[in-house]
């Protein structure tokens, strides 16, 4: 193997045997600074131990599903793999991930968004009222502390629909993936 966190059909293993089952073309790596190199929830094959990572991986489990116009689904996955920069422990404990497990770490030199897949997405620090768009993630990150976004700004209408106490608080960070969509308060 090449030492990368993925392998293709036909690659040789560390002990000399070829990988005989799998995909012939696996893209290895990602653009720099987008996310961590290996994501704990990224591989769900192996029964239940992933042979490449040596990690126990359990695919998604649905614990609760309530139907409706906006259905409520509580699901989770598990991976015992630990990266060099692990995401914070989620609501179900170490290794467990749920769609609602999203956190923002505030650091002096960066904002680090830990998504529900275990990835760490880095942003520059924001001043109160500032907004930044991540092309790689198709997501806006906005810091509160401003009554309105400038006219013509992509998020002006969506920002204006928020209650004033949320818009004006410099202690709140919000994320959205659509100018017509919902806000996640981080």
Q: Are residues 86 and 35 in the same domain?
A: yes
Mean pLDDT lowest among 29-33, 116-120, 128-132: 29-33
Question: Is the residue at 140 inside a domain?
Answer: yes
Question: Is the residue at 175 inside a domain?
Answer: yes
Q: Are residues 131 and 96 in the same domain?
A: no
> Which of 1-10, 37-46, 119-128 ranks highest by mean pLDDT?
119-128
- Phi and psi (nearest 5°) for 160? -65, -20
Question: Is the residue at 112 inside a domain?
Answer: no
Question: Is the residue at 37 inside a domain?
Answer: yes
d(CA 34, CA 135): 10
Average pLDDT across the chain, whole number: 76
Range of the domain at 45: 29-101
Q: Enter the tokens of residue 39.
A: 């994501």
Question: Is the residue at 13 inside a domain?
Answer: no
Determine contact, residues 53/42, Cβ cutoff 8 Å: no
Number of domains in the chain: 2
- CA 162 to chain CA centroid, nearest Å: 24
Burial class for 73, CB neighbours closer than 10 Å (0-12, 13-18, 19+): exposed
Task: Please state the pTM of the whole predicted model.
Answer: 0.59
Q: Enter the tokens of residue 160.
A: 């204006």
- Phi and psi (nearest 5°) for 88? -60, 160
Question: Is the residue at 20 inside a domain?
Answer: no
Question: Is the residue at 118 inside a domain?
Answer: no
The Cα angle at residue 66 between residues 64 and 69, in degrees rounded to 5: 145
């Amino acid at each position: 193997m090449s030492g990368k966190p993925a392998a293709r059909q036909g690659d040789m293993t560390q002990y000399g045997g070829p990988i005989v089952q799998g995909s012939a073309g696996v893209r290895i790596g990602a653009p720099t600074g987008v996310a961590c190199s290996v994501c704990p929830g990224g591989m769900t094959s192996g029964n239940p131990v992933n042979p490449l990572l040596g990690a126990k991986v359990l695919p998604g489990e649905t614990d609760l599903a309530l139907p409706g116009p906006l259905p409520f689904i509580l699901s989770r996955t598990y991976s015992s793999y630990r990266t060099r920069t692990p995401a914070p422990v989620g609501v179900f404990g170490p290794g467990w991930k749920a769609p609602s497990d999203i956190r923002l770490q505030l650091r002096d030199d960066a904002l680090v968004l830990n998504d529900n897949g275990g990835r760490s997405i880095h942003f520059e620090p924001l001043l109160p009222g500032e907004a930044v768009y991540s092309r790689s993630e198709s997501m806006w990150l906005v810091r509160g502390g401003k009554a309105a976004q400038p006219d013509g700004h992509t998020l002006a209408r969506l920002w204006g629909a928020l209650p004033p106490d949320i818009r004006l608080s410099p202690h709140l960070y919000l994320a959205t993936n659509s100018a017509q969509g919902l806000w996640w308060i981080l």
